[in-house]
Amino acid sequence: MRTIKGLPSAVPRDSDESKFPFHTIQNETDSQAGTPVVREIYGDLITNLYALLSDVGIEPNEIEDSEIAGYQLLEAFKKFANILNDVEQVLTLNGTVWSVNFDIDNLPDKYVFVARTTAEYNASVSYTFTGTDDNSYSLSSATGFNASDVVLVVIDQSGVRVIGLTKESTESDINTGFGTPLAFNDGAKMYYLEEGNVLSDAPSINNIQNTIRIAEGNGTLYVYDAFVIQGKLLCFCWISDVQTYKFYQFDLSDLDTAIAVNVSGISIPTGSNNEPYCYTDGNLVYITNQAGTTANENELAGLLYDPDAATLTLNISRVLHANFTKSTNAVIQGTDIITFIAGSLRKYDMVAASETNLGDYNSVLGVIFRFNGETYYSNGELAKKWTV
């Protein structure tokens, strides 16, 4: 838009920049010339007003606005949409940084908008929030949220708050008739792993083991475990002829293309096997036996998962209580690993290295898993939400 300041210096105007940074109109008097009524001054303003009317579908009626005829510009403003908080934004997680694709520096304190999330919130992680500009703030959520949830974001300069809007709609019971669900799934669609195949209730079936074997060029590879995490299917694979473990990932929209995931910061051994197990909280992937480097199964390597870069990077190491027994029948809740072995329910705090006996349920045998931000128990075709 053109400004009066940008006009040739000969054009009369009030040029007091302490008051008017872009200059303003000067009235004509007996002793001074006034700012002329010319296109360069008024054209952009009028044209923008016409464009505003057109954008909301109002045609100028060529009648003077009044109390009788109405006010077309006011009507247009009432219909005008705000592209920041009148549309659903995307709240994206990259590492520990949540971001949105717009400038937040000039927004007022406690500005709010609605967004859909790309990953699950982990209460044990310290997050930050940013936009496309320079400012960043700490981020927390008292309600928590899952991947693909709709949330309300409050950009409070003392700390961004995210309020889950869809978490309450999670069903307490879910059907698991296709088999044993994945141990961790932060999406809304149920998946199962059976003999190298990934199944869903759609129904659908994909032989991911064979796909990974072709990508690896090794027919002795077995998919040991799999998780739905941050929009990807992450697979933990055992290659028996060379005795080592590798990770592969799939996009959930393309389960026919396997992508190798690079591990850095720690080397998973080749030629020996301490039989490590994998767990995840949706952000970090924990591998027992310190990623297979030790026989001590209570030593965990926590690797930060970046699905876009297809990498797992050593982020933290944990030593659990000495009584910890690794099992595929386990989930992570916050900073705790919950195991359910032969009816014995145990909780292991990864920070305090403590053990808590949650009860022995010798007649209640089944599997526990995380789905859409909740812990479930199943021993057949129906899964029940557990609060543990």
pLDDT on residue 169: 46
- Per-position DSSP letters for 318-345, written without gaps between them: EE--TT----SSEEEETTEEEEEETTEE
Residue 130 to residues 101, 141, 261, Cα–Cα distance (Å): 9, 15, 27
pLDDT on residue 170: 47
H or E stretch at 73: helix 72-79
pLDDT in tens, 190-228: 899 999 999 987 788 999 999 999 999 999 999 999 999
pLDDT on residue 179: 85
128 forms beta bridges with 97, 138
pLDDT on residue 194: 92
Sorted by where each starts, the structural domains of the chain and their CATH numbers stand as 4-79 (no CATH), 89-167 (no CATH), 171-385 (2.120.10)
pLDDT on residue 277: 97
Q: What is the C-alpha to C-alpha distance for residues 202 and 343, in angstroms, rounded to an integer?
A: 32
pLDDT on residue 325: 95
CB 227 within 8 A of CB 286: no
First to last CA, the chain: 60
CB 266 within 8 A of CB 303: yes
CB 225 within 8 A of CB 278: yes
pLDDT on residue 171: 53
pLDDT on residue 319: 96
pLDDT on residue 317: 95
Pairing of strands 127-130, 160-164: unpaired
Token readout for 64 is 């003077």
Under DSSP, is residue 339 helix (H, G, I), strand (E, B) or coil? strand
Residues in the chain predicted with pLDDT less than 70, given as ranges, are 167-172
pTM over 0.85: no
